[in-house]
Chain A
């Protein structure tokens, strides 16, 4: 292999530093790492189920609190009806739409605020202020502005998520290492090119962290919205939750909670994977690994 002969040509003491970094990774290693990531989660689920069953076994509020042995068959039953899937579909469609809007608005605002000092002074603190405001307080306002409609829910989602996304981008731009900026400038990167090839990629880890946080706020806004803004003819997850509670169908309501949890975890897994991919490419994961 060419690399081997080259290693000889460039061998210095610091080659010891390379360690196993140039070793290929086999499929066995991949399986091992998947298992290592999975078993703590399985264990956590098992512990939660056991605790849940224990609480139910005490008979506390047994009218409302249904155990896993009742809830999971109920959920299974609900999964055989179109209604649940329709509701999941509507909720996810809103999630995607609201989050996409928040991404566009947050990114554009973030990019401008990061680069224009007067904007930074004025708008920067407003963004941080918005970020700490619970999205639910916007609902009365949203309902007056948009009525009992999907746009009212999207409005609240955007207000919740966009500040986090903007802040993530601003933080990333601020923390671009000065040495890299110096290197970029000596290389002749200016204006748009400096932004496109240096500042944006350098900001990516903080930007992704902001997106992840933004998703959490968007999802909260969405769930709150679906519980408050009940739109006739649009059975969403929130509507189902509300309806089952009103009907005293608590096994069903608990099932919906599990559906919400699963959606939340699934999306979080995507973000975590993206975050890890970004950090692995930059060698930021290796430092935390021992041995």
Chain B
């Protein structure tokens, strides 16, 4: 417990709060470190209408500071992906405010979602073109981005000629090509094997350090969250609500198998279990 300074939301958020005595409310913690890159205030999302209406997100408030890496975990169906869609502006929120401070936002999915008729390089280049980068500069920038993800020699390959991990690397290069300040990642490594995922974690960490990006990373993998995040937010299921936040201490060994990561992961797993029991599933 000592290494985690997670704090719970008010006691009315469920019996979970009492299990972590000494933890305090975190809602305005990011505000202390202003400026916030992404700020959600009482955001709710309802799908459908009338009786069939589904409350996917219920008054979620969350603030992510510029340059911060925040992981969101929760059981499937907790509205994690919905949350990212809202922040990316692909979907309107039913109520509440989302403020991205005028920053550019890009989104990565669990599937690479590369355009299968384009080569890896063209996929990246299209993002540059959409952004209005002049033709003369696109080629060099594309190559640079591919090299960033260690795919400099694979630009002429089509997505189906690449492995799952390589495709996700191209998707990452494409996301970087959008020159976004905020990178939203929706279980981007969920479909990869542990070894490949581990490599990509290192890569993502390196890239984030080089570019000071704000990252909102959704996952259902507790260890991945503990490994990558500066902060981890746990969402409850149906409807999604923020039920717990944990700060992840910096420094030391942060490999997925390290003691620190394992311990934090265990704490968070306990909290998630509790939440699931509450749902009777």
Which A residues contact B (CB, under 8 angstroms)? 1-3, 6, 9-18, 21-22, 179-180, 182-183, 185-189, 193, 197-198, 201-202, 204, 278, 281-284, 286
Contacts and interface: CB of A to CB of B under 8 A. Distances in A.
Looking at A3, A16, A284, the one whose CB has the most chain B CB atoms below 10 A away is A3
B196 A13 contact: yes
Contact of A13 (B109, B162, B195): B195
B21 interface: no
Looking at A18, A186, A201, the one whose CB has the most chain B CB atoms below 10 A away is A186
B165 A198 contact: no
8 contacts: A3-B153, A10-B165, A18-B162, A180-B113, A180-B115, A183-B113, A187-B130, A282-B158
A14 B117 contact: no
Contacts of B159: 283
B166 A10 contact: yes
B199 interface: yes
> Contact size class for B?
35 or more
Contact of B163 (A3, A18, A183, A282): A18
A116 B88 CA distance: 26
A21 B161 contact: yes
B165 A12 contact: yes
A22 B200 CA distance: 21
A21 B129 CA distance: 29
Interface string B51-84: 0000000000000000000000000000000000
A187 B178 contact: yes
B278 interface: no
Interface of B: 88, 90, 105-107, 109, 111, 113-118, 126-127, 129-131, 150-154, 157-166, 169, 174, 178, 192-200
Contacts of B198: 12
A223 to B, nearest CB: 35
A189 B160 contact: no
Looking at A21, A187, A188, A202, the one whose CB has the most chain B CB atoms below 10 A away is A187
Contacts of A197: 126, 129-130
A184 to B, nearest CB: 8
Contacts of A282: 116-117, 158, 160
Contact of A179 (B113, B162, B194): B113
A6 B158 contact: no
B180 to A, nearest CB: 9
Contacts of A1: 153
Q: 3 shortest A-B CB distances, which residue pairs?
A: A283-B160, A12-B196, A3-B153
B130 A17 contact: no
A288 to B, nearest CB: 13
Given A10-B169, A283-B161, 5 more contacts: A21-B161, A281-B116, A281-B117, A282-B117, A282-B158
Nearest to A1: B153
B80 to A, nearest CB: 15
A9 B200 CA distance: 11
B181 to A, nearest CB: 14
Given A182-B113, A189-B130, A201-B115, A14 B160 contact: no
Contacts of A11: 199
A176 to B, nearest CB: 11
Contacts of B109: 179, 182-183
A186 B107 contact: yes
A187 B161 contact: no
B34 to A, nearest CB: 27
A185 B130 CA distance: 10
B165 A6 contact: no
Nearest to B166: A10
A188 B131 CA distance: 7
Contacts of B150: 6, 9-10
Given A185-B90, A281-B117, A283-B116, A10 B199 contact: yes
A283 B127 CA distance: 22
Nearest to A5: B153
Contacts of B90: 182, 185-186
